[in-house]
Amino acid sequence: MAELAMRATELVKWFGEGDAKTVAVQGVSFDAFFGEMLFIEGPSGSGKTTLLSLISGILRPNSGTVSVAGKNIWDMTSDQLADFRLNTVGFVFQDYHLFPRLTTVENVAIPLILKRLDWNKSVEDAMQYLEIVGIKDRALLPPVKLSGGEQQRVAIARAIASRPDILIFDEPTASLDGDTGRRIIDFVKKNILNDQRCIIIVTHDSRIFEFADRIIKMEDGRIICFEQGGGHEE
């Protein structure tokens, strides 16, 4: 039995009040385990992104808990939450959100710099992560000079630079062609996922479902079913 990485319990989140009230997530509970690649899938507006924000310490739920290492993250202060995001969670945003005015390696070094590491040491370490994702030779270029797939790899390198336990991908293949998207997820599964790390991917791209260990299907803010993915190994 794999070790529990995160437990979400009865998460509820709504926006607005009165007639304008919209319930985005209602009573969602699930566990995520180390060594697992967990997909959250559903149509647009089903609450995937809101759920992602709730479990990563970005958006406070109206009720429910998110436990990581036995502690409810929503009992933390805002500074503790920032530290939690920095040390425990790695994000790969849909639009990557790389800094065009910094070089590729400096982009990757950002989490290390936020951890108060010396600039030169951070850049030196960031080079190793660029090597892992296979674009070390692009280190000194600005991200705008890279292809979409390469930018995705930079975003992955930045996300793993702080050695997070939980890695969160938001629509990782949305800006990539089918082949590149598959290659990226395959690469992540083979090189980034390990027994000390859990990867949660929000997507509605069925072409990559084959890499999932489990798939959570959402609709109207609720989990409608759990499925075994194509990557599940008994």
Partner 1 sequence: MKGILKIAFKLLVNDKGKFAALLIGITFAVFLMVMMTSMFAGILHRSSATVLNVGAKIWVMDPAVNTPANSIPMPDYVLDAVRSIDGTKYAMPLYSGGALVKLRSGVYQSVTVMGIDDSTLFGRPALIEGKIEDIYAENAFVVVKDAEFRKLGNPMVGTDFELNDHRGVIVGIAKVSSSGLFGVPTLYTTYKRALQYIPSSRFTTAFILVEPKNSAAIPYIKEQVKALGYVALTKDEFIQKTSDFYKYQTGVGTNLLIMTVISFIVGLSISGQTFYTFILENLEKFGALKAIGAKGRELVYMILFQATFTSLTGYGLGIGLASLLINVARLRLPSYAAMITYSNLGFAFVMVLIIAGISSYIGVRKVLKIEPFDIFRG
Residues that bind partner 1 (CB under 8 A): 49-50, 52-53, 56, 58-59, 78-79, 82-87, 91, 93-95, 97, 99, 101-102, 106, 110-111, 113-114, 116-119, 122, 158, 162, 170
Query: Which of 133, 231 has the CB closer to partner 1?
Result: 133
Whichever of 157 and 231 has its CB closer to partner 1, that residue is: 157
Q: Please, what is the minimum distance in Å from the beta carbon of residue 232 to partner 1?
A: 27
CB of 181 to partner 1, least distance (A): 18
Least separation, in Å, of the C-beta of 2 and partner 1? 26
Give the separation between CA 219 and CA 191, rounded to whole angstroms: 31
Tokens standing for residue 159 = 């996300």
Region of 5 please: left (phi>0), alpha (psi -120 to 50) or beta.
alpha
CB of 182 to partner 1, least distance (A): 23
Measured from the CB atom, the residue of 85 and 214 that comes closer to partner 1 is 85
Nearby residues of 58 by Cβ (< 8 Å), 6 or more positions away: 85
Query: Judged by CB, which is closer to partner 1: 129, or 231?
Result: 129
* Residue 29 CB neighbour total at 10 angstroms: 12
- What's the gap between Cα 92 and its chain centre? 5
Q: Are strands 89-92 and 37-41 parallel, antiparallel or unpaired?
A: unpaired
Sheet holding 22-33, edge to edge: 22-33, 4-15, 63-68, 71-72
Nearer to partner 1, 1 or 144 (CB): 144
* Angstrom distance (rounded) from CA 185 to CA 172: 8
CB of 86 to partner 1, least distance (A): 3
Cβ 44 to partner 1, closest distance in Å?
12
Return the number of the residue (52 or 216) whose C-beta is nearest partner 1: 52
Residue in 134, 126, 182, 135 with CA at minimum distance from that of residue 159: 126
Region of 163 please: left (phi>0), alpha (psi -120 to 50) or beta.
left
Residue type, 215: I
